[in-house]
Structure 1
């Protein structure tokens, strides 16, 4: 598949100047938000290897073989369309980071959009996705842009 012109992370930048260098391995995301955006783009483009490489060493998906994980990601990618990304908040505290985002995702005509509070950790010289708390769109307030990490965690209970 040829590289897209606009970056799938919806930053407004061109792919080759935004997430492309991360996906090609010529640069590393310098912040948790940059890693989160690059992972969203990787989901949109079906880049299972990148998604696997950017998992924290203790992430539960690491227990699966790379082939199993890639197969599952590819099957998911074929069914889904990633149509938008909104960052509600992002913070970094030393080697820990947190990003709250809303992703517009459709699967076979069904709205599968969600908000997630993602946790990131710096290890092995780069940021890695450690975990996330996800709330589906139907359980979110109408104004997702005003969502706070605390409000998302309350909704997830």
Structure 2
């Protein structure tokens, strides 16, 4: 797991960027390294947010549905994600096959603060949660 150009690897002892309150090492790092699978849609959402923060394009592509996944990603290291707030989760538990997560993510880009709001849809493919698509709520 190496970050995209212009990104630094996450400090394992630092708080996880996903906002869970745990360290990166005990929260999203095992998902990013492929040592564990996210057990719920919300856990996958949080881990994908952390991957945007750390520039982990491989993880983002690996956790994207084969039906909607782009061929590649190019994250902009000038965009810094500043916080994640989960607004609502519908289904997406360990026993579900479909889930949605509504969230708000703050960012800083070219000296300006912004916010991205979205409802993300997650599905199970081959027994694991993947991101399918989003409804942008800007």
TM-score by length of 2: 0.86
Across the aligned residues of Structure 1 and Structure 2, the Cα RMSD in angstroms comes to 1.3
> Equivalences for 1:6-155 in 2 at 5 Å?
6-61=15-70, 64=71, 69-70=72-73, 72-73=74-75, 76=76, 78-92=77-91, 94-136=96-138
Distance in 1 between the 2:9 and 2:54 partners? Answer: 10
**Residue-pair matches, total:** 126
Q: Which of structures 1 and 2 has the larger relative contact order (alpha carbons within 8 angstroms, sep 6+)?
A: 2
Name structure 2 gaps, 5 residues minimum.
1-7
TM-score by length of 1: 0.76
What's the counterpart of residue 150 of structure 1? none
Larger Rg, first or second structure (1 or 2) = 1
- Secondary structure of residue in 2 paired with 1:40: helix
